[in-house]
């Protein structure tokens, strides 16, 4: 069994997925737009045809999927979860924390904790929460 996060964005899914691919060293293996739906009549009303219907980012053996929210969605920000990255190299953890926090908000500065060599929490510029942990 695999558990894979599926993130929803308010019109900036493509930008977010490309940012994550660059910062995490992953590959965007799918980026499908609403205009590519075989039966456009099944597309939600008032949907921008250029919006992302489905994206898939491969980072090693991990997958993050995403799309732009439908116009009738509430547009609520990401809340109630964080994506967690565990690495074994302190410099890698520091670098990930720095690049993901650019333009976002640091919740807990990256540093030594009683449970880890390094740990930090942030909300990135797209509103997604992250925890970086160095074991």
pLDDT digits (tens, 9 = 90+) for 90-115: 999 999 999 999 999 999 999 999 99
Where are the chain's structural domains? 6-68, 83-134
Cα separation of 70 and 135, whole Å?
Answer: 39
Residue spans of alpha helices (H) in the chain: 13-24, 90-101
Tokens of 7: 């993130």
pLDDT band for position 76 (cuts 50, 70, 90) = low
- Across the range 30-47, mean pLDDT stands at 86
Dig out the tokens for 85 from the structure.
């990255």
| Mean of pLDDT over the chain | 93
Could you tell me the pLDDT band of residue 71, with boundaries at 50, 70 and 90? low
pLDDT at 77 over 90: no
Q: Fold identical between 6-68 and 83-134?
A: no
pTM: 0.91
Of 47 and 28, which is predicted with more confidence? 28
pLDDT-derived band at 44, boundaries 50, 70, 90: confident
Say whether domain 83-134 belongs to CATH 3.30.720.110.
Answer: yes
**For 61, phi and psi rounded to 5 degrees?**
-95, 5
Q: Tell me: pLDDT of 23 over 80.
A: yes
Averaged pLDDT, 18-36: 97
Q: Structurally, what CATH architecture does the domain formed by 6-68 represent?
A: Roll (3.10)
Q: What is the mean pLDDT of residues 25-47?
A: 89
Q: Give the pair of three-digit tokens for residue 44.
A: 């939600």
* pLDDT at residue number 18: 99
């Amino acid at each position: 069994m695999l558990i894979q996060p599926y993130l929803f964005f308010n019109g900036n899914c493509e930008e977010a997925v490309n940012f994550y691919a660059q910062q995490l060293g992953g590959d965007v293996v799918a980026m499908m737009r609403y205009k590519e739906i075989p039966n456009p009549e099944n597309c939600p009303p008032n949907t921008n045809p250029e919006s992302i219907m489905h994206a898939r980012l491969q980072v090693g053996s991990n997958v993050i999927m995403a799309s732009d929210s439908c116009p009738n969605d509430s547009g609520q920000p990401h809340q109630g979860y964080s994506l967690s990255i565990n690495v074994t190299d302190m410099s890698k953890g520091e670098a990930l924390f720095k690049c993901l926090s650019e333009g976002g908000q640091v919740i807990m500065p990256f540093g030594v904790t009683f449970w880890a060599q390094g740990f930090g929490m942030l909300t990135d510029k797209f509103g997604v929460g992250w925890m970086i942990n160095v074991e």
